[in-house]
Chain A
Amino acid sequence: MDFDKNKNNKDGAIKENIFQYGDDVKDLVVARLETLPSGAVISIGSGKELTKNEAIQSVKEGNETGQKMMEIEMSFLQGLKDGILYDEALAFN
């Protein structure tokens, strides 16, 4: 699952939060999105509302919204790897 977290912009400066995810991540996120309830709409970002199919298309195209969907998925998987659910359970209980 390759991604370049610190991709340089045109000026050579490091621009944070620009991820370039590989096809394996795209496939994973598309598979995850397929499991959303039918009729689900995702409200994400300023006024963007996507149906499940539109969200899947965004990921396949790798556009800005698709990149955000992938970022959320990777954040979730990284969190699971780091034991976030366990940590939060300990913190809250």
Chain B
Amino acid sequence: MTKRLLLTRPDHDYTTRYLSAWAEKFLNFAKKKNYSIIDLRRERANFKEVESVLQKRKPCFVIINGHGDDDLLTGYKNEMLLRAGFNSSLLQGKIIYAISCRSARVLGEEAGQYENTAYIGYKDDFILIYLEEYRTRPAEDKLAGLFLDPSNLVAISLLKGHTAGKSVLRARQEFFRNIQKLLTSKTKTEDSSIIRYLLWDMKNLTLCGNRDKKI
């Protein structure tokens, strides 16, 4: 049976456009692995469509690119998509990766308590540093790649068939590898100044729920 992947890409500000552009990397990988991809972009990244896809098409893997808070994830123009105590049960039995701020704190904790569910997200603000000159071509921004490559590794590792626990570990290792690269004496001061933000993201990347869950 073909496995389904649901992805939201609201693309309504620079940050979500960066996430969207860099998502192409794991999307291409998912296509090679013959996943059926439900890609909700721009206006389609809304509450109604997300709820409908989760209920009717039952994706096994859900990736939310967007903004968030302790108890919620948002889509296009910050419309609420999923909220703790409201519709988090739609995530039951799935693996979720939320590339957003804070949602692991409450929404992730709640979703992670459902049977056979793994919620991966960030328990505090997800920090991304990018260069203004690359705003129109974010996929070429190597500085942003130091943040988004490790983040993407969560998705790629899961798509390769690794467990949620192993995927988070591999992503954290990748964050750390980037930190180590920036610690060398050859690195320019302005580049090494982002180490604190990489470390912040690495520390806040969290798994709630079933560590052994695979797609």
A residues engaging B (CB < 8 A)?
A: 32-33, 35-47, 49, 51, 68, 72-73, 75-76, 79, 84-85, 88-89, 92
B residues engaging A (CB < 8 A)?
A: 13-15, 18, 67-69, 74, 78, 101, 125, 127-133, 135, 143, 172-173, 176, 179-180, 183, 189-191, 193-197, 199-200, 202-203
Closest CB of chain A to B143's CB: distance in Å? 7
The majority secondary structure among interface residues of chain B is helix
Cα(A75)–Cα(B201), bound, Å:
12
Of A39, A51, A76, the residue contacting B199 (CB under 8 A) is A76
Cα(A35)–Cα(B143), bound, Å:
14
| Contact of A44 with B125 at beta-carbon distance under 8 Å, contacts A49-B15, A88-B176 already known | yes
Cross-chain contact B173 with A92 (CB below 8 angstroms) = yes
Cα(A33)–Cα(B127), bound, Å:
14
Of A35, A42, A85, the residue contacting B179 (CB under 8 A) is A85
Cross-chain contact B67 with A47 (CB below 8 angstroms) = yes
Residues of B within 8 A of A73 (CB): 196
Cα(A39)–Cα(B194), bound, Å:
13
Cα(A72)–Cα(B201), bound, Å:
10
Cross-chain contact B14 with A49 (CB below 8 angstroms) = yes
Of A45, A72, A85, the residue contacting B200 (CB under 8 A) is A72
Cα(A73)–Cα(B130), bound, Å:
18
Residues of B within 8 A of A41 (CB): 14, 129-132, 135
Residues of A within 8 A of B18 (CB): 43
| Contact of A36 with B129 at beta-carbon distance under 8 Å, contacts A92-B173, A92-B176 already known | yes
Cross-chain contact B176 with A40 (CB below 8 angstroms) = no
Residue of chain B at shortest CB distance from A34:
B193
Residue of chain B at shortest CB distance from A33:
B193
- Of A32, A38, A92, the most chain B CB neighbours within 10 A belong to A92
| Contact of A43 with B199 at beta-carbon distance under 8 Å, contacts A35-B189, A37-B191 already known | no
Cross-chain contact A35 with B193 (CB below 8 angstroms) = yes
Cross-chain contact A72 with B173 (CB below 8 angstroms) = no
Residue of chain A at shortest CB distance from B72:
A46
Closest CB of chain A to B61's CB: distance in Å? 24
Closest CB of chain B to A51's CB: distance in Å? 7
Residues of A within 8 A of B179 (CB): 85
| Contact of A46 with B189 at beta-carbon distance under 8 Å, contacts A36-B194, A72-B197 already known | no
Cross-chain contact A89 with B68 (CB below 8 angstroms) = no
Closest CB of chain A to B168's CB: distance in Å? 13
